[in-house]
């Protein structure tokens, strides 16, 4: 019998952060509709959140083929009707393969991508969200130009050594970019291991 390769990737941080993120999302996401997850990575979050929110359609996406294969494998394993097939999406593009989402979720992306990915994320979310729609970001941030923990400083140095276009972003810069695109910063939550949940809402 031929052995089927296991295409699932595993991100150790997911097991640590998925429950705190779930708690944050539980009071932010709409009662019904479609949630677009940008840069879904391994797909572990998508499977977990789709299971926790059966009333929502969960649309994972990523740019990397290996990630898309992993997401598809987790989707197959989960067998959830509301977990949609992953779609390729380049956040930097002016054209996304979606014209509507009731909420947008982006976990641990903007610090491991060039700044133009954050620019594209804000512009794209503003295009497809309805008035009062939510954009949720999770990850490490600098605040007032300063790291919130020594571990984040070390992480930032490591990221920039791997790619000078990467790095822990200054929250004020992210908020200013969101405002330019008509997204208002409505909430910041302190999360475990020196991360933050940053919530934006489309004006209207």
Q: 142 phi and psi, to 5 degrees?
A: -85, 150
Residue 135 · residue 104 · CB < 8 Å: yes
Two tokens, residue 46:
């998508």
* Residues whose CB is less than 8 angstroms from the CB of residue 77 and which lie 6 or more positions away in sequence, other chains included: 8, 47
Confirm whether pTM is higher than 0.85.
yes
Residue 110 carries which DSSP code?
G
Domains of the chain: 19-95+104-202 (3.40.50.150)
pLDDT in tens, 11-63: 888 888 999 999 999 999 999 999 999 999 999 999 999 999 999 999 999 99
pLDDT in tens, 142-186: 999 999 999 999 999 999 999 999 999 999 999 999 999 999 999
């Amino acid at each position: 019998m031929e052995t089927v390769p296991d295409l699932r990737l595993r991100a150790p941080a997911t097991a640590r952060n998925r429950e705190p993120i779930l708690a944050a999302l539980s009071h932010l996401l709409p009662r019904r509709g479609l949630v677009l997850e940008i840069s879904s990575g391994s797909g572990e979050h998508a499977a977990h959140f789709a299971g926790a929110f059966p009333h929502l359609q969960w649309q994972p996406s990523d740019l990397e083929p290996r990630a898309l294969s992993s997401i598809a494998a987790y989707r197959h394993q989960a067998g959830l009707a509301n977990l949609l097939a992953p779609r390729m999406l380049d956040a930097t593009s002016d054209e996304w393969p979606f014209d509507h989402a009731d909420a947008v979720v982006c976990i641990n992306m903007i610090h491991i991508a060039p700044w133009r990915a954050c620019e594209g994320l804000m512009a794209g979310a503003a295009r497809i969200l309805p008035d009062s729609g939510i954009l949720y970001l999770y990850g490490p941030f600098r605040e007032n130009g300063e790291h919130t923990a020594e571990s984040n400083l070390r992480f930032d140095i490591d990221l920039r050594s791997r790619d000078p276009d990467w790095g822990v972003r200054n929250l004020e810069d992210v908020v200013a970019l969101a405002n330019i695109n008509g997204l208002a910063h409505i909430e910041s939550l302190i999360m475990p291991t020196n991360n933050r949940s940053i919530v934006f809402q489309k004006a209207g």
